[in-house]
Every structure is written in C-alpha cells, then in structure tokens.
C-alpha cells in the first residue's frame, strides 16, 4: 500500500475534544465492589453464627440449645463455607484426584461433626475459607502489575488517511502510516517521532516514573503516555509486534514456566498428602492393638487433627505466589523474566559476560578527531560525506552529522568493498573511504601515526594518495560505571567483555570500566566458543548480556541470557531469558537482587510450613494438640507464608 506524503501541519488537531463524562449526583456501587461483598458474605455469615453459638454454649443461656437444635445451628453456620469446599472435593474425586486439600478439609470437618465437635468443625472450615480469601487477595495483588500493563495497552489509534483523521483499532494500522497522539493519550504503536520533541511517561514500558524527553526521529514505544502537546508518529511496527504487546505476552507466559522448587513442591505434595492420610487411618485404628484404654472417639479426633495439619496449601499456594511476586516486582523495575525458573537461575550466576556496543555503550557514534593532510577540514569532510551518504553504517551516520556549509559534492559509481569500505568518484576523482585493509589492497601508503589510534578510524584516499582520516568513538551509557560496581557488590566474582569491535577499543573500554577480562574482534561463533569454554569450568554459571542479532547464539547458550529490550534486536529479545526494558546495564545487578530475594522468601516459606507442621503433627499424634492448633498449623501458616511472599511487592531495590 503506497502512502501519501503528509505535511506535519496536517497532523495538528482540528478541534479539541472535551470530556463528556458527567456526574448525576448519585453514588453508585461499582460491579467490582458488589462482587467483593458477595465474595466475603458467606464467611461473615458463618463467623457470626459460630460466635453466637460458642457464646450460647459457654454461658449456657438457653436450655433448648441442645440436641438437634444445636446440630442445625452449627450446620447452618457450616454450609456457606463448607459446601463450596465439599463440592470441589467431590469434583476432584470424580476426576480421579482424591488427595486434595478440599478432600482433606471435607473429611476432617465432617468427622468433627460426627464426633460432636460442631464448633471446631465450623471453625476449621471457616478459617480455611478465610485463608482462601487471603490467598485470592494476595494473588490479585501480585497480578496488579500485569493488570496495569493491560490497562496500558492502547485500544484505539488516530490515523491520518486520505486527508482526514480516522479513529481505528490499532491492529489495523500498517507500518509507515502517520498517527496523531493528543495530550494524555497513549501511543498506540511503536514508531518514529515526527514532531520536534515529545515528553512521555514511559512507566508502563520501562518501569521509570521520570518523564522521558524524546527528540525528532527518535523511537517511541506503544503504551507511553504523551504529556505535553499534540505529537505525530510514523509507525515502524505492527500492533502485535509493539513493545507493550511483547511485554504483555512475556509477562503473562512467564507464570507458566515453573521453577524447579515450585515443581518439586507440587510433586512432593502429591506424595506427602496420601501418606499422611494413611497415617491418619492408622492412627485411628492401630492403637486398638497396643493401648489398654482405647477409645475410638479420642483416636479419631487425633486423626482428624492429623488430616487438617497435613493439608499442603501453605506450600502449594505460597511458593508460586512468591515467584509470582518476584516476577511482578521485576516487571515494575523494567526487568522481564520469561519464567520463574529464570528467577532461580539468576541466583546461581557467578560470571557475567557482556557485549560492548549497545550494552555498556550507547551504540551512538560521534566524530572524535578530524585529521586532514591535503585539504582544509571543510573540503576534506565534503569528499568524505559525499561518499558516506551512500552508506547505512552507524559510523556513516555519525560522519554525516558533521556541519558543513554548502554540501554540494555528490558521489557516483559508489561500490562497497566487503569488510573494508567504499570506492567511488567525487568531482571526477577516485575516492576510497574505509579501513587500513582497503588502503593496503590499493597500495596506498598510510602514516604510521594511525597505528596508535585506538578508536574506530575511517581513512580517506583521493586519486591513490592518502589525504586524512577521521576517528569515531562510541559513548558510554550514563550508568555503565555504576553497573559494573553494582554487579560486583551483588557478589559476581568475574565480569568479562566479549565484543565484535576491534580489540584495542574493547580493551580501552574494559580498562575504563574496570572489567576483569576482555576480548575484541570476535565473530558470533567466536563469542559462542568463549562462553562454552567458560561453562566447562567447574561451578561456573554464566549470564550473557547483549542486544544484537549476532548475540542471539550466545544468549541461547548461556545459563541466563539477558537482552537489552529497548535498543535490542527482536531476535535477541526472543532468544533471551531476561529482558532489560530500560537498556540500563545497572538493572543487571537489580535482576540478581530480585532473584535472590525471591528465592530467600520461597525457602523461608518452605521452612516455616514444614517446621510448624512437623511440631503440631507430633503434638496431635500424642493427643497434646486440639483442632485449633491444627487450624493454625494449616491456615495460619499459609497466611503467614502469603504475607511473607507479598513483601516482594513492597520491597525497594535502591541504587547502590
């Protein structure tokens, strides 16, 4: 589809659209509020009935509160919280899954009713229901970050078509179309800014709350909010490939990738639960053969306590919730883990290997020095720029930013010499622009002073004679030095740089950043070989950080692949296990800290659950624990584990 050339003035708003919402003066409960109230009503009703029943029992205020009246009262208190659990247990049994927490709770509480312990039967089911509500609330809290991302997904685009603005679904906008974004609106698709500048809130994309100022011709990302003035954007990606769509897909799919700890606990619970059920059966009947004063009711009560304690919900719920909290906390910090397993893997990393360009440097080249031998500087640059106009290389772009008055030289017959540079004609003269290899292949003598140049160098020869050179330098990212310092403080023992850039530049950058070891001039397969050699060393876990297509093989081969998500290529992002959406290398250390905090909380929960359950199981088997202690060992521990997991949502990972 051919696009019509559009003048920026055409993209200015033709009218302002006001807010047509109004308040009718009445308060209305939202559907969510009504739904929340209905969720809690059964538990509230059961709690009130239980408290009243216990009070009547304690004070013996009503003589008629005995026999069937008492049974009916506690049954009515039990049904609102018990029926859903019994129903779930029955459905699980029909599906062939007997040993679930629903089955355990149903048997334990119905058993309590069978031996006349009505208040305890209601209390166990009530506290279990309350625990489930807390779990649901905690999960919803952990999912809040994903919901915020969903809310950030734009649902319409104002596109310029046939001389008019049309509001369309972003999925229908094609690459190269011009869209308009008003103040307060979300940018619907990734693109290039056509306006002179824009102030954007990129929190949904990068996790950074500080407004970002974007200049003309720079990239803007879908989901960013326009803060100041109407802007025009030319789209460069389809909606399904936009940054916000990619983030949503990665975060939503991350929960499907279980960590080894999480998978182990789920498998363990399926073995551990039936064992405890059989132990409870044995605890009920076996004492008959060994105890002189055997009372069936007493031993059944102990077995029921055993069953309540055995419920694995504290483990099965709080552990994945811990990992989910870690994924959410990382996402809020502009770090996307593609699964809980990579949170675990990050905690084991002890060697960080990184690319140079686009990782610790901006990949934005600037002219550092111009050395002209034959011409004055302006004349020399006109020849060089005429040639570089024919190139798309980043270094060519840096050279073309040179301000030359009256750039009227044009190059003809330009051809590229693979891996060496360009050859062409300017003003009837044969011009060579490239590296030392290009000069050598054309028998052009190069001054020895160029041997000492560390930076990238572009040499120029006219009519077979060397006339000068330009040095080009990349810029460090603002947080590059801070990043290396923080990675060391995070306990990483070795930091290595592997780069495709020439070795002298790589060594210079490495020395300035205080990196342990560096190697330059590497092809993609060379980087891969270096990382595979590192992985062969005992107890070495490697994280590789890169951004380009050439880094994809190494990202896939490393123990943890980390890609720069803003400037990084789509191939690198798809291959990596962790995406740093802000392109800040300092986030590497933060990713390690979040991974470690998550793992620490998960193991705290495992220790808490097993420790308390073991103690109360022993007490219950010995007749020293009642159903109330059993409730604490199950629901109480689950709640404590959940509250511990929720801490991840509140933690702050400050810059060192």
- CA 534 – CA 351 distance, rounded (Å): 9
The three-class DSSP label of residue 343 is helix
- CA 288 – CA 301 distance, rounded (Å): 14
Taking CA atoms, 651 is separated from 139, 304, 328, 329, 337, in Å, by 17, 39, 11, 8, 17
The three-class DSSP label of residue 500 is coil
Instruction: Give the closest residue to 321 by CA, choosing from 69, 604, 550.
Output: 604
- CA 596 – CA 337 distance, rounded (Å): 13
Question: Does 501 participate in catalysis according to the annotation?
Answer: no
Q: Which residue out of 355, 501, 559, 583 is catalytically annotated?
A: 355
CA dihedral (516, 522, 524, 528) positive or negative: negative
Beta-carbon contacts of residue 402 (< 8 Å; ≥ 6 apart): 367, 370, 381, 385
What string of DSSP letters covers 560-573? EEEEETTTS-HHHH
Beta-carbon contacts of residue 645 (< 8 Å; ≥ 6 apart): 138, 142, 318, 321, 322, 325, 601, 602, 605
Question: Residue 574: what are its φ and ψ, rounded to 5°?
Answer: -65, -35
What counts of helices (H) and strands (E) characterise the chain? 22, 22
Query: Residue with structure tokens 């974004």?
Result: 181
Phi-psi sector, 355: left (phi>0), alpha (psi -120 to 50), beta: beta
Q: What positions carry a catalytic annotation? A: 355
């Amino acid at each position: 589809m051919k696009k019509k050339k559009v003048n920026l003035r055409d993209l200015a708003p033709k009218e302002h659209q006001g807010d047509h919402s109004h308040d009718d003066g009445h308060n209305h409960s939202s559907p969510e509020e009504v739904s929340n109230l209905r969720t809690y009503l059964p538990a509230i009703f059961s709690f009130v009935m239980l408290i009243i029943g216990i009070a009547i029992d304690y004070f013996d205020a009503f003589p008629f509160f005995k026999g069937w009246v008492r049974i009916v009262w506690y049954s009515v208190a039990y049904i609102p919280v018990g029926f859903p659990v019994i129903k779930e247990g029955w459905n699980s049994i029909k599906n062939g899954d007997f040993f679930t927490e629903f089955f355990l709770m149903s048997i334990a509480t119905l058993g309590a009713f069978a031996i006349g312990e009505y208040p305890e039967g209601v209390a166990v089911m009530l506290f279990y229901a309350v625990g489930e509500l807390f779990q649901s609330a905690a999960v919803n809290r952990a999912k809040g970050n994903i919901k915020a991302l969903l809310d950030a997904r734009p649902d319409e685009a104002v596109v310029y078509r046939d001389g008019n603005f049309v509001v369309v679904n972003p999925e229908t906008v094609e690459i190269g179309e011009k869209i308009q974004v008003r103040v307060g609106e979300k940018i619907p698709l990734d693109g290039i800014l056509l306006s002179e500048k824009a102030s954007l809130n990129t929190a949904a994309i990068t996790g950074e709350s500080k407004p970002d100022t974007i200049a003309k011709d720079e990239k803007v990302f879908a989901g960013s909010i326009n803060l100041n003035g109407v802007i025009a954007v030319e789209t460069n990606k389809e909606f399904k490939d936009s940054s916000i769509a990619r983030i949503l897909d990665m975060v939503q799919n991350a929960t499907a990738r279980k960590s080894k700890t999480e998978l182990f606990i789920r498998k363990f619970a399926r073995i551990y639960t039936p064992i405890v059920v059989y132990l409870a059966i044995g605890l009920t009947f076996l004492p008959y053969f060994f105890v002189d004063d055997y009372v069936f009711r007493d031993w059944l009560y102990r077995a029921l306590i055993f069953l309540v304690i055995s419920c694995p919900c504290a483990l099965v719920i709080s552990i994945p919730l811990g990992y989910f909290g870690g994924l959410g906390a990382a996402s809020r910090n502009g770090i996307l883990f593609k699964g809980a397993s990579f949170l675990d893997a990050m905690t084991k990393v002890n060697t960080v290997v990184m690319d140079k360009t686009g990782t610790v440097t901006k990949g934005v080249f600037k002219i550092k020095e111009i050395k002209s031998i034959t011409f004055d500087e302006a004349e020399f640059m006109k020849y060089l720029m005429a040639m570089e106009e024919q190139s798309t290389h980043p270094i060519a772009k840096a050279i073309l930013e040179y301000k030359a008055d009256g750039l009227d030289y044009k190059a003809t017959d330009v051809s590229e010499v693979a891996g060496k540079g360009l050859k062409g004609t300017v003003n009837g003269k044969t011009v060579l622009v490239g590296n030392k290899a290009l000069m050598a292949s054309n028998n052009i003598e190069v001054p020895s002073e160029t041997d000492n140049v560390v930076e990238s160098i572009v040499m120029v020869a006219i009519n077979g004679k060397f006339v000068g050179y330009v040095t080009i330098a990349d810029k460090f990212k603002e947080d590059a030095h801070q990043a290396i310092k923080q990675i060391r403080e995070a306990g990483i023992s070795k930091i290595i740089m592997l780069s495709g850039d020439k070795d002298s530049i790589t060594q210079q950058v490495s020395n300035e950043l205080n990196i342990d070891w560096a190697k330059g001039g590497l092809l993609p397969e060379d980087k891969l070989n270096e990382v595979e050699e590192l992985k062969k060393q005992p107890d070495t876990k490697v994280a590789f950080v890169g951004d380009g297509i050439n880094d994809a093989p190494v990202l896939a081969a490393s123990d943890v692949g980390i890609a720069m998500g803003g400037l990084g290529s789509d191939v690198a992002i798809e291959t990596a296990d962790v995406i740093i959406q802000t392109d800040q290398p300092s986030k590497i250390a933060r990713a390690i800290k979040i991974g470690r905090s998550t793992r620490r909380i998960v193991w705290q929960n495992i220790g808490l659950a097993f420790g308390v359950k073991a103690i109360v199981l022993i007490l219950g088997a010995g007749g020293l624990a009642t159903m109330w202690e059993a409730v604490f060992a199950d629901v109480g521990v689950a709640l404590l584990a959940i509250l511990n997991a929720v801490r991840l949502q509140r933690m702050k990972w400050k810059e060192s």
